[in-house]
Amino acid sequence: MWYYEKKLQYPVKVSQCNPRLAKYLIEQYGGADGELSAALRYLNQRYTIPDKVVGLLNDIGTEEFAHLEMIATMIYKLTKDATPEQLVEAGMGAHFVNHDHALFYHNAAGAPWTATYIQAKGDPIADLYEDIAAEEKARATYQWIIDVSDDPFINDSLKFLREREIVHSQRFHEAVEILKEERDRKKVF
């Protein structure tokens, strides 16, 4: 189903070790509106979506895993050389005590990822509106992380991800219109 190319979708560089910024990025790793939640939401919803738009959910869900890989790389690069003291100072002490430098799916506040973040109603239009909202929340979160970041390299990658959220939202809007048109079409038997 997938072809894995051993490179990131977009380059990830960091200026320096910065566990404080990594803590904020963890929101997009294991938060409710993060990349893991999005990928699993879309790949799950594709089973109950009409064939006319199923490919869209598959494509975007797969791309979200590429975004998750980028976020993981950012977090790793920002923390790999951090001392335990730096991690504690950045508010990541509890993470360090539980996971050392390993990544773990939780949000910026430390709450573990949960399947309750994934929405699937079974109504294609309702699900697509949920997907639009998820993309817009992710876009906003990326912007807020950019606003508190002083790393120009990370900001470059985050701007790429923010723009992809906008594209995904637009594509989901298009899918809603396709399904509304199909729903409203007169059916003659």
Reported confidence tier of residue 1, pLDDT bands at 50, 70, 90 = low
Q: What is the pLDDT of residue 184?
A: 85
pLDDT, tens digit (0-9, with 9 covering 90-100), for 78-116: 999 999 999 999 999 999 999 999 999 999 999 999 999
Domain ranges of the chain: 19-110+119-187
136: amino acid identity, one letter: E
Torsion sign, CA atoms 69, 72, 73, 74: positive
Nearest to 101 by CA among 121, 86, 112, 123: 86
Known catalytic membership, residue 35: yes
Q: pLDDT (tens digit, 9 = 90+) per residue, 28-41?
A: 999 999 999 999 99
Write b or e for each residue in 52-68: b if 16 or more Cβ atoms lie within 10 A of its Cβ, otherwise e.
ebbebbeebbebbbbbb
pLDDT digits (tens, 9 = 90+) for 136-183: 999 999 999 999 999 999 999 999 999 999 999 999 999 999 999 988
One of 63, 67, 95, 130 is an active-site residue; which one? 67
Active site residue 69: no
Question: Is 89 an active-site residue?
Answer: no
Q: Can you tell me the distance from the alpha carbon of 99 to that of 69, in angstroms, rounded to the nearest whole number? A: 18
- Please say whether the beta carbons of 134 and 41 come within 8 A: yes
Catalytic residue among 63, 64, 95, 130: 64
Give the 3-state secondary structure of 155-168: HHHHHHHHHHHHHH
Using the predicted structure, report yes or no on whether residue 189 has a pLDDT greater than 80. Answer: no
32: its two tokens: 């409710």
CATH fold of 19-110+119-187, please?
Ferritin (1.20.1260)
- pLDDT surpassing 90 at residue 2: no
In the predicted structure, residue 17 carries a pLDDT above the cut 90:
yes
Considering Cα of 30, then 34, then 39, then 40, what sign does the dihedral take?
A: positive
Binding-site positions: 35, 59, 64, 67, 135, 168
Closest CA to 8 of 59, 72, 87: 72
Q: Which of 27, 63, 130, 135 is catalytic?
A: 135
Residue pair 180/52 in contact (Cβ under 8 Å)? The answer is: no
- Mean pLDDT, all residues of the chain: 95
Binding residues for Mn(2+): 35, 64, 67, 135, 168
Tell me how crowded residue 150 is: count the other CB atoms within 10 A of its CB.
11
64 is catalytic: yes
Catalytic residue (one of 27, 63, 130, 165)? 165
**What are the tokens at 20?**
């404080």
